[in-house]
Amino acid sequence: MGWVKVAERGAVARDAGAEFDVGGTKVAVFNHGGLHALEATCAHQDGSIAPGEVKDGVVECPLHFWHYDIRTGRLLDYLKGVSLKTYRVEEREDGIYVEL
Ligand code: FES
């Protein structure tokens, strides 16, 4: 698919996340020490991680509190070897872009 504009600049508040539908793929973008993009759907029960609390590079799924590293997508508790897919993300002059 390539690079897709998902939002205007500044659309994702600092230390927060937002979910975008990119051609049918749900992508969570976090603004926390730079922008990070990963699959928005939690590996547990398909909740969205986008509204989760972000702290020290980790997002907590708001449904049952599983934790993911927002840089690598790796699940940090409960199961080994589980990761959410990550995507490249850039803030450009005209908006936020994600590469799918
Ligand atoms: S759906 Fe994310 S922890 Fe349950």
Number of domains in the chain: 1
C-alpha 43/C-alpha 47 separation (Å) is 8
Domain interval for residue 90: 3-99
Contact 24, 70 (CB under 8 A): no
For the chain, 100 residues long, give each residue's pLDDT as a single digit of tens.
899 999 999 999 999 999 999 999 999 999 999 999 999 999 999 999 999 999 999 999 999 999 999 999 999 999 999 999 999 999 999 999 999 9
Q: Measured from the CA of 47, which atom of ligand 1 is nearest?
A: 1
- State pTM to two decimals: 0.96
Q: What is the residue-wise DSSP string for 71-95?
A: TT-BB-SSSSS-B--EEEEEEETTE
Task: Determine which residue's CA is closest to atom 3 belonging to ligand 1.
Answer: 64
CATH number of the domain within which 52 lies: 2.102.10.10
User: Which of 26, 38, 45 to mutate for ligand 1's pocket (most ligand atoms within 8 Å of CB)?
Assistant: 45
pLDDT on residue 1 = 84
What the block records as the tokens of 85 is 């897919």
C-alpha 77/C-alpha 17 separation (Å) is 20
